[in-house]
Amino acid sequence: MYDITIDPRPIEEVNPMIYGQFIEFIENCIDGGIYDKGSRFSDEKGIRQDVLEKAKQLNPPILRWPGGTYVNTFHWMDSIGPLEQRKKRKNIIWGGIVDGGFGTAEFIEYCRAIGAEPMLCVNMASGTPEEAANWVEYCNGTEDTYFANLRRSHGYEEPFNVKYWCIGNESYAQPDLGIQHDVDVYIRDAWE
């Protein structure tokens, strides 16, 4: 016979960030879900207010974007600037077309509206360390640099101050697309 002793005292507080969520261009999660220019529930920017209100009720402490495995083909420069200049892209991970209307600024504004910290996920599969660094500079740069000034030219004088960055997602997962990194390649690229 064995005795089990349980000590009910808390050891440590649980960090609420573990209850975060993520959104991805899969099915109607973003295009047709969060963002839908044609919906009667959408505001002038295309953000569905009914979905926004439900997201506020969920109260996620942190929200990650642009995914999931979709990030393996995502290039952030396609998600900035005037909407009419953004290109629609084929979603080769999940199928369909990504509208381009829900980009970096829209995601950050959405996070602020629902009370979540934004977490941006950089492309470590078909992207480069330089591309990732440039996105950080675009979002958080305060000096007179190309990417900070590009953000300013898009109407965002103040930096977005994104604190949380995810370095890739399952970059080993799409060998059929020519996207497959082993752990050594991932570590090398992450350190860059």
With CA atoms as reference, report the closest residue to 132 among 57, 186, 63. 186
> pTM score, two decimals?
0.87
CB neighbours of residue 180 within 10 Å:
14
CATH 3.40.50.150 for domain 18-191: no
Task: List CB contacts of 95: < 8 A, sequence separation 6 or more.
Answer: none
Looking at residue 186, what is its pLDDT?
Answer: 67
Mean of the per-residue pLDDT values of the chain: 91
Q: Residue 176 pLDDT > 60, yes or no?
A: no
Q: Any residues with CB less than 8 A from the CB of 128 and at least 6 apart, and which? A: none
Q: Which of 71, 152, 58 is nearest to 110 (CA)?
A: 58
Coil vs helix vs strand at 5: coil
